[in-house]
Structure 1
Amino acid sequence: MTFTRPRSYHHGDLRGELLVRAEETLRESGVDGLSLRQLARDIGVSHGAPSRHFRDKQALLDALALSGFQRLDTLFSTAVLGGTFAEQLEGIARGYLRFAIENSALLELMFARKHSPNAGTELPAAAEAAFLTPVALIARGQADGDVVAGDIQRIGLAAFASMQGLATFVSSGFAPAELAEEMLSDVVTQMLDGLRPRS
């Protein structure tokens, strides 16, 4: 009979592999299904190996949330590389909706960890950095006369609440996933109408 012993060390990017597997587990089983020991078993390393990168489960959750905000930052930055204000806003909206639907458990974790008193300063800073691009887009829209006057943070929050609401409806099954793109077009149209200056 042959059996494989877990490796006591790892030749590749163990931290990266742990995060990938942790995100898969989060998607399949939620936060309660995550454990460092199980992750070690899943990728075939000794049960102590993950502790070299994450001192405990909380540190792992923080790392997952941080990675999520960094991905959002990249997504938003890419969405505003070209096009009109409306096209950039639609790019941000479509990207965020896709991210929120495909990573609903991760997104929930991201915002929960951001507000945790144990999360330190790196996580809130990453969250703020991720949303600088949409806020800057709204500010440019105001300067160009495409967006109604008012507090940029409040205007942006209202717009994102619409997108998050749609993402929640789709990921929870309340709205059919196959209609998500069509519904997003409606939300973007309504957002643009709401953002336009009043005569």
Structure 2
Amino acid sequence: MQSAMSQTYHHGALREAMIAAAETILERDGIAALTLRAAAREAGVSHGAPAHHFGNLSGLLSELAASGFLRLRQYLLDAVVNAEPTQHMAGLSRGYVAFARSAPGLFRLMFRSEQLDWSNHALSAAGGAAFAMLLPEASVDEADRKPISLPLLGRAMAHWSMVHGLSTLLIDGRLSAVGRELSPGVGVEALVEEILRSGVAHLE
């Protein structure tokens, strides 16, 4: 069975299978359990196969993080595709939080620079494309993008800091404890919406 599966992967899907296997381990067992051998075992391929495609664990993690940034960008795009201009920033905020909640292990990995190789082209390109969605010129083609002013960049970074901090608090379970201070019947979801509303309002 393993040899047949390995043969199938050899003809075009090993990289995707290894990335999917790595994410499964990451979300199920945590970053400490994610090794090249564990990912190979999860994917059903030989232990030597991952090294050929990714080099080492950092290579695999960097490719996995790159896939995460691509998905984050898609979440952001989907969140604002039909949004009114006045709701653009709020939509981006909700898309960012939704992605973090959909894949908390992957979200954490994407910002653990000590385990990633940012010289990896796929990772640097995907990360840059995702961050560009938070910039005022997000709708402009990369080739036409002009330098951003300090005030606009500061506003974009403030926005990122707000949604990233909220996302981290959520997936780490920190808001649940705070939510106990709310009135009966008012849950964490209402608190999340209030944080987003307040945070965006202060940035506008």
8 Å Cα contact 2:58-2:115 kept in structure 1: no
TM-score by length of 1: 0.78
Measured in 2, the distance between the counterparts of 1:180 and 1:164 equals 17
> For 1:26-45, what aligned pairs fall within 5 Å after superposition?
26-45=26-45
Q: Does residue 203 of structure 2 align to residue 195 of structure 1? A: yes
Structure 1 residue runs without a partner (length 5+): 141-148
> Please, what is the CA RMSD of the aligned residues?
2.9
Query: What is the aligned counterpart of 2:7 among 2, 5, 10?
Result: 10
What amino acid maps onto 1:11 in structure 2? T
Partner of 2:152: 152
Q: Does residue 119 of structure 2 align to residue 120 of structure 1? A: yes
Displacement after TM superposition at 1:68 (Å): 1.0
- Say which structure is richer in helix: 2
Measured in 1, the distance between the counterparts of 2:192 and 2:162 equals 10
**What do residues 19-46 of structure 1 show as CA deviations (whole Å, max 9, x unaligned)?**
1110111122332211122222222222
Structure 2 residue runs without a partner (length 5+): 141-148, 180-185
Helix, strand or coil at the partner of 1:82: coil
**What do residues 30-86 of structure 1 show as CA deviations (whole Å, max 9, x unaligned)?**
322111222222222222222332111111011011111111122222222222123
% identical aligned pairs: 30
8 Å Cα contact 1:7-1:45 kept in structure 2: yes
**What do residues 71-114 of structure 1 show as CA deviations (whole Å, max 9, x unaligned)?**
1122222222222123322221111112112323222221223x
1:42–1:137 Cα change, 3 Å:
same
Partner of 2:146: none
TM-score by length of 2: 0.76
